[in-house]
Amino acid sequence: MKQETLYQIRGLYRDDFRISSFRFGEGEKSLCVVGSMRGNEFQQIYVCSQLIRKLKVLEEKKRILPGKEILVIPCANTYSANAKKRFWTIDNTDINRMFPGYDLGETTQRIAGGIFEKVKEYTYGIQFASFYMPGYFVPQVRMMKTGRENIELAKQFGLPYVVLHNPRPFDTATLNYNWQIWNTQAFSIYTTSTGAIDPEAATQAVNAILNFMAKQGIIDYQGYEGYISRVVESKDMINVRAGRAGFFMGRIRAGEKVQKNDLLATITDPYTGEIRQEIRSPEDGIVSFVHNETLAYQYTAVIKLIADPDAI
């Protein structure tokens, strides 16, 4: 294992900004894994740390196959993580909306450019991403539909769902999208949480990556095969919205099956404690996302469902 500084910016009033990377094996650029780009993505950093531990052992046992190189970048935004801010601390911009970057641009454009210059030539790219809405997810592999996505490769992670997403204009400035445009097979992996560490979900994600690498001939590894992934279009997910604002009390968890009219959550009045709304399932399905913050705002999506094809 080689720990290196992937990118660095001189700090004027605090320590320099550095992005650390961990390199395993040597040879062709086979796989790059990127963790947190936002300051609240602690689960994403944790998953990378557990992957680094596994890869270190595999390298010591000479089970990274000859001619293969793996790069892991646990955190690309240490300043924001230290300040507990989701976006860049100075101007509140999002690094993952700045790719492929620009070395003469704003700070986050320069950071994105510095990262992309080092990761754009890898055969496979994996990002541990987080959603713009706070909540818990069913584990999934997400790919943007650029015309270069490979569904069969995504299934080889063995996670429950492969989600295909039609890119919106701002998605074209993400790492996943630009990786694909530069001919890297790119995947975003969502575990259950973002700000809170979930060790069980982290283990599942690490095992998924190790199995994927074994199937691509990068490592010598025999692990749990995982799930037969179901392919879902993100546009077909059912958004269940809060009809009233108030305290959100979820009654279900991501991954659970629900039937039409099942109670999913309640919205209560913050002052009186009275129930303002009972949120019920509009149809049979599987819960793919559950809001996890105390307050819910009117008309926002607090639960997402995947239609259940086995419903009677």
Q: Phi first, then psi: what are they for 56, rounded to 5°?
A: -60, -45
Record the tokens describing residue 69, joined without a space. Answer: 């190189």
Q: Is the dihedral of CA 74, 106, 13, 9 positive or negative?
A: positive
Please give the pLDDT value at position 11: 76
| 90 pLDDT more than 90 | no
Closest CA to 128 of 224, 197, 60: 197
Please give the pLDDT value at position 309: 65
Please give the pLDDT value at position 310: 66
Question: What gap in Å lies between CA 89 and CA 23, rounded to an integer?
Answer: 28
| 231 pLDDT more than 90 | yes
Q: Where are the alpha helices (DSSP H) in 163-302?
A: 175-181, 199-215
Q: How confident is the model at residue 312 (pLDDT cuts 50, 70, 90)?
A: very low
Q: Which secondary-structure segment (H or E) carries 246?
A: strand 246-250
Q: What's the predicted TM-score (pTM) here?
A: 0.93
Record the tokens describing residue 145, joined without a space. Answer: 């539909």
Q: How far is CA 291 from CA 64, 133, 135, 191, 246, in A?
A: 39, 8, 4, 14, 13
Give the chain's domains with CATH numbers: 2-233 (3.40.630.10), 237-307 (2.40.50.100)
Question: What gap in Å lies between CA 130 and CA 37, rounded to an integer?
Answer: 9
Cα angle: 31, vertex 32, 34; to 5 degrees: 150
Per the omega criterion (within 30 degrees of 0), is the bond before 309 cis? no
Record the tokens describing residue 113, joined without a space. Answer: 């450019």
Record the tokens describing residue 192, joined without a space. Answer: 């259950």
Record the tokens describing residue 155, joined without a space. Answer: 């299934």
| Neighbour tally for 82: CB within 10 Å | 12
* Beta-carbon contacts of residue 126 (< 8 Å; ≥ 6 apart): 31, 32, 33, 34, 186, 187, 188, 189, 209
Per the omega criterion (within 30 degrees of 0), is the bond before 100 cis? yes
Tens of pLDDT, residues 135-148: 899 999 999 999 99
b/e per residue 282-308 (b: at least 16 CB within 10 A): eebbbbbbbbbeeebeeeebbbbbbee
Tens of pLDDT, residues 237-284: 999 999 999 999 999 999 999 999 999 999 999 999 999 999 999 999
Average pLDDT rounded to a whole number, residues 111-140: 94
